[in-house]
Structure 1
Amino acid sequence: MRTILKGALLLVAIFLALTPASASAYSYGDANTEDVAETFKLVVSALGKSPADWKAAEAAQKEMRDVFVSHFGEGVAATLDANMQARDADAVIANYKAMLVMNLNRRFSNAIQSVHDYTQAKLLLAKARATYETLAPYAESKLSKADLDGLSADFDAALTAIGNPGLFGVGKKEPDEKALQDAVNQVYGAMKPLFPFTADPAAAGKAGGADVQTAEPDTIDGTEKHAAMARETKTNPAITVGVIAGIVVIGGGAVFWARRKGWF
């Protein structure tokens, strides 16, 4: 009997050791911190004032300029600088929208590359969706409601396509890379033509500045290289606490039952 009890307690110990990893795998991406989209909102807000607050717009851009260079190239950042210096609000906002499309490409490409890493792929799709939702209001005059509803459904399809690691293997579903590519390209293919990037002549000599729109692919296959995103693990605390609490209750019940049987 003692051997059985030791085996049961060992099983509980193994479950406790595995819980953090399994609960972490079943995690939720944070869609509220897409920095490129948040900077766009700050710039639009500053330039929408009467008179336009160019100082605030330039400050927001300056804070993110190194990030823009890293993700989209010096040419893009130089064009935005030139638009700001020319005090051309329409050009600034139009090119920021185009940069958000570039950000969709970046997030989608990295999601495809991370398709076998559920936590990372889900976070990347969450950030892509935050980018899309920032652009969507500007697409309402160009796409029908049915089209926009379809794009929202494509995001849901992309989320389904990355599979699910399950909890302790229960409910596990393998990812489908082709389905993921199909879904993200529906979104990207619809948005890219709506928001073209217009390079400023002064930035034409900068790398990528003159031809950035044609350099952006028409479809995303996950082979394009982008600056890697700092890894973030967003674990749902309710799931983690719930799993640990469940194991503790089961383990405690086993010990109580063993005591009543007089095994120790």
Structure 2
Amino acid sequence: MKKSFITTVLLFLLGNILLSSQASAYSYGDPSEEKIAEAYKEIMIKLDEDPPNYSESKKIYETVQEEVDQHMGEEPSKIILQNLDDKEKQEAIENLDELLVLNIARRLESIDKNFSEYDTSKRLLAKGFATYKTLSPKVEGENPELDQKIRTEFDQALESLGNPGLFGVGTKESDQDAFKESKKFIVDSLQKEFDIKSLEVGHFSESATEESSGKQEWTDISNLKNWLPIIIIVGVLAAAIVYAVRKRK
């Protein structure tokens, strides 16, 4: 009876580990820091001071200006910095909102253009979602249903990337058409919600060769070294199960 109980427990643990590893393949993980979104948050805090702290807001923006200029052209920075110089709080906020929408659009466009590159696509989608979470309170405040729908579309976009799996475990085919549908809904909805005339940007140039500017905290499930702990644990549990079964005989 005791041996049977031990075997049952070991089988339960083994199944739980396998299910958990598959589930993690579809989580956003903890993406590398999205600098533009983080700068936005800090600027909002400074602009919310009484009186608004325009000089510090400008300094914060300048920490991400190079990235903005490189990927979205110089025009957004010129307008936002001019707003801050002229102490135009509301105009600055509106243009910063638009900047985040542009950033989400470029992330999704980059994924669409390099859809077969799973690792890069998953990371860029995580960055895009991190950016949306910064805008989410504003969307939710005006239209809670739309906010939830956009979040759902991000989840569906993640599902559409598929899963390369490992050793045939957890493999799922990708679906670029499904991704395009989610991308269109997200981008079109944000463009309408923030009353943006055009989402044309300087260029979309990210690819698998893009250098990461910070440490990578997301989990690459297709990388063998990230599976080693699970493989070791599964191996130990399997050996324990075999041993328990043989002892019963």
- Shorter-chain TM-score tier: 0.7 to 0.9
Question: Which residue matches 1:235?
Answer: 219
Distance in 2, Cα, partners of 1:252 & 1:139: 52
- Considering only aligned residues, what root-mean-square deviation do their CA atoms show, in Å? 3.1
Distance in 2, Cα, partners of 1:33 & 1:235: 14
| Code of the aligned partner of 2:200 | E
CA change 1:39–1:164 in 2 (3 A) is same
Point out where structure 2 has 5 or more consecutive residues left out of the alignment: 1-21, 244-249
Q: Residues 104 and 131 of structure 1 are in contact (CA less than 8 Å); yes or no, is this contact kept in structure 2? A: yes
1:99 deviates by: 0.5
Over residues 122-153 of structure 1, what are the superposed CA-to-partner deviations in whole Å (9 max), with x where a residue is unaligned?
Answer: 1111111111111111123432x222222111
Question: Which residue matches 1:110?
Answer: 110
Distance in 1, Cα, partners of 2:102 & 2:184: 13
Q: Residues 95 and 196 of structure 1 are in contact (CA less than 8 Å); yes or no, is this contact kept in structure 2? A: no
Aligned with residue 225 of structure 1, among 199, 204, 213: 204
1:253 deviates by: 11
1:88 deviates by: 0.7
Distance in 2, Cα, partners of 1:108 & 1:249: 41
Share of identical aligned residues, percent?
27
Query: 1:8-157, aligned counterparts within 5 Å?
Result: 29-31=29-31, 33-143=33-143, 145-157=144-156
Which contiguous aligned blocks of 4+ residues in structure 1 show a shift greater than 6 angstroms? Answer: 248-254
TM-score, scaled to structure 1: 0.70
Over residues 147-195 of structure 1, what are the superposed CA-to-partner deviations in whole Å (9 max), with x where a residue is unaligned?
Answer: 2222111111111100011231222111100000101211111111222
Distance in 1, Cα, partners of 2:129 & 2:228: 25
Distance in 2, Cα, partners of 1:151 & 1:30: 20
Distance in 2, Cα, partners of 1:65 & 1:120: 23
1:41 deviates by: 0.4
Question: Which residue matches 1:160?
Answer: 159
| Code of the aligned partner of 2:37 | A
Distance in 1, Cα, partners of 2:73 & 2:161: 29
Distance in 1, Cα, partners of 2:191 & 2:236: 51
State the secondary structure of the residue aligned to 2:63: helix
CA change 1:240–1:92 in 2 (3 A) is farther
Q: Residues 32 and 130 of structure 1 are in contact (CA less than 8 Å); yes or no, is this contact kept in structure 2? A: no
1:248 deviates by: 7.0
Distance in 1, Cα, partners of 2:142 & 2:131: 18
Q: Residues 42 and 60 of structure 2 are in contact (CA less than 8 Å); yes or no, is this contact kept in structure 1? A: yes
Larger radius of gyration: 1
Q: Residues 28 and 122 of structure 1 are in contact (CA less than 8 Å); yes or no, is this contact kept in structure 2? A: yes
Distance in 1, Cα, partners of 2:199 & 2:241: 63
State the secondary structure of the residue aligned to 1:122: helix
Question: Which residue matches 2:198?
Answer: 214
Distance in 1, Cα, partners of 2:206 & 2:118: 19
Q: Residues 163 and 172 of structure 2 are in contact (CA less than 8 Å); yes or no, is this contact kept in structure 1? A: yes
Q: Residues 29 and 119 of structure 1 are in contact (CA less than 8 Å); yes or no, is this contact kept in structure 2? A: no
CA change 1:214–1:153 in 2 (3 A) is closer
Distance in 1, Cα, partners of 2:151 & 2:199: 26
1:235 deviates by: 2.7
Point out where structure 1 has 5 or more consecutive residues left out of the alignment: 1-22, 198-212, 218-223, 257-264
Q: Residues 65 and 77 of structure 1 are in contact (CA less than 8 Å); yes or no, is this contact kept in structure 2? A: yes
Distance in 2, Cα, partners of 1:214 & 1:158: 23
